[in-house]
Amino acid sequence: MLPNLERYRICSSEEVRRILDYLEERYGIPRSVFENYTFLVRGKNSIWIYSGHPSILELIPNVSIAGIRALHLSIKKTLKPTTIFLQVFGKYATKNVVELESEEEAVTFMSGGSIARYYDVEEGFVVVKFGSDVLGCGLYSNGVLRSKIPKTLRVRFEWFK
């Protein structure tokens, strides 16, 4: 998906269609959620989401950052949603959502740890929730849920003692 992405630019309508297909098929997030958003490509493998006026991007020189990083294309060419994207849009997900069962599990996950347990989801990247909170992105494979919470957003165990 999305080959030859070499510079920062607005996604083509074909690319947007594939991003929306992926979010709908894998997570059940309806396309309508993204009606007022622009998807951008930066570098070879990251997709950003931006809710400002698209035309402004061309009128401001030297844009360093626009919106937030939404998806990342992994080496295996699979898409990974970022935690910050899921913390905003994960509430609309209906598929491949893991619900943690205790505050202890939530703290383990938010501090970067893994949880060994069977979940009824497909293998790969999943939305991880605890109660009404969307915590972020996890990787589920072989019965283990691995935290993909970036270091900057992690919480520390001792905070909860």
- Please report, as ranges, the residues that interact with other proteins according to CB under 8 A: 36-37, 49-53, 56-57, 59-69, 84, 87-88, 106-107, 110, 133-135, 152-156, 159-160
* CA 110, chain centre distance (Å): 15
Task: Kindly state the smallest distance separating residue 73's Cβ from other proteins, in Å.
Answer: 19
Q: Which is nearer to other proteins, 92 or 124 (CB)?
A: 92
Q: Which is nearer to other proteins, 9 or 77 (CB)?
A: 9
Task: Kindly state the smallest distance separating residue 97's Cβ from other proteins, in Å.
Answer: 16
Task: Kindly state the smallest distance separating residue 136's Cβ from other proteins, in Å.
Answer: 9
Task: Kindly state the smallest distance separating residue 123's Cβ from other proteins, in Å.
Answer: 26
Long-range contacts of 105-110 (CB under 8 A, 24+ apart): 105/130, 106/130, 106/133, 106/135, 107/155, 107/157, 107/160, 108/147, 109/135, 109/136, 109/138, 109/145, 109/147, 109/149, 110/135, 110/136, 110/147, 110/149, 110/153, 110/154, 110/155
Cβ neighbourhood burial of 76 (10 Å; 0-12, 13-18, 19+): exposed
Please tell me the distance from the alpha carbon of residue 27 to that of residue 25, in angstroms, as a whole number: 6
Task: Kindly state the smallest distance separating residue 26's Cβ from other proteins, in Å.
Answer: 21
Q: Which is nearer to other proteins, 125 or 130 (CB)?
A: 130
Q: Which is nearer to other proteins, 32 or 64 (CB)?
A: 64
Q: Which is nearer to other proteins, 104 or 122 (CB)?
A: 104
